[in-house]
A and B are shown apart, each in its own frame.
Chain A
Amino acid sequence: MSQLQFDPSMLQAPIPGQSLTKEPGNYPWEVPPELSTIEDVIEYYTERLLDANADDAILICLDGGISVEKMAEFITTSGTMNGRHSLDLAFLVDPYVRELIKYVADSANADYIESYSDLEKEKQVPYRQIRSLIKEMHKQQPEETVENIKEEKEEMPKQKGLMAKLKKEN
């Protein structure tokens, strides 16, 4: 009988309830958020994102190909992780942060991707267009009929020498 082998990595997992052994309030998410109203959060992000230092970082990320949608998500989620505001407010303020990022990009004349899903939709060529394009291609090229292929084969030069293929006689 084969014996079940014990996986030592199982011992490295936290013991249930281990997080409760530490003193509460050590992490930002264990403390009440600093900002509790939507107006405060909007003001906070306006100050942060229109700052000259943040401006550069945003433009670098946009040039790197990060979409506005994802960047806004990162910023608002990190705000929650750092204990600035609750997750509810992060979701509520997300469209405003997107707008701010677009404003920064526009002020620097930078191109940006709004969202990856929209980009994929734009790239997708409709089937109707592909169909008409293939039809046009077929019209331009002469049709390869069986007769044309036979003529091409006959035109091929005859092989000579020792290694030449022998012709099969029907």
Chain B
Amino acid sequence: MKKYAVKIEKLVKEKLKEKPKKKKEKESKGFMARKEKVEDTKEFNTDMADIVAQHIVAIRKKRMELKG
């Protein structure tokens, strides 16, 4: 249990340090423009620790906002 808590805390700290990635929007015009791919399948995150860490990050950010 303690190892898991430590692992989660490490993941949360890593995620908090990460800066949000900006997506570059390339405008493609013309008849040679690539067509947007329609994704049929979604990628599911199977790492449960990662999912929990993501949710913890969201709550921690709210806590940080409360504290200012």
Which A residues lie at the B interface, using CB under 8 A? 38-39, 42, 91-96, 99-100, 102-103, 106-107
Contacts and interface: CB of A to CB of B under 8 A. Distances in A.
Interface in B2-59: 4-5, 8-9, 48-49, 51-52, 55-56, 59
B8 to A, nearest CB: 5
B66 A107 contact: yes
A94 B1 contact: yes
Interface of B: 1, 4-5, 8-9, 48-49, 51-52, 55-56, 59-60, 62-63, 66-67
A91 B48 CA distance: 11
B1 A96 contact: no
B1 A93 contact: no
A45 B20 CA distance: 27
Contacts of A95: 4-5, 8-9, 52, 56
Given A94-B1, A95-B8, A100 B66 contact: no
Contacts of A103: 59, 62-63, 66
A95 B60 CA distance: 12
Contact of B51 (A39, A94, A102): A39
A42 B66 contact: no
Contacts of B5: 94-95
A82 B9 CA distance: 28
A106 B51 contact: no
A100 B55 CA distance: 10
A106 B5 CA distance: 21
A90 to B, nearest CB: 11
A22 B4 CA distance: 38
A106 B56 CA distance: 15
Contacts of A91: 1, 4
Contacts of A96: 52, 55-56, 59
Contacts of B63: 99, 102-103, 106
Contacts of B51: 38-39, 42
B64 to A, nearest CB: 9
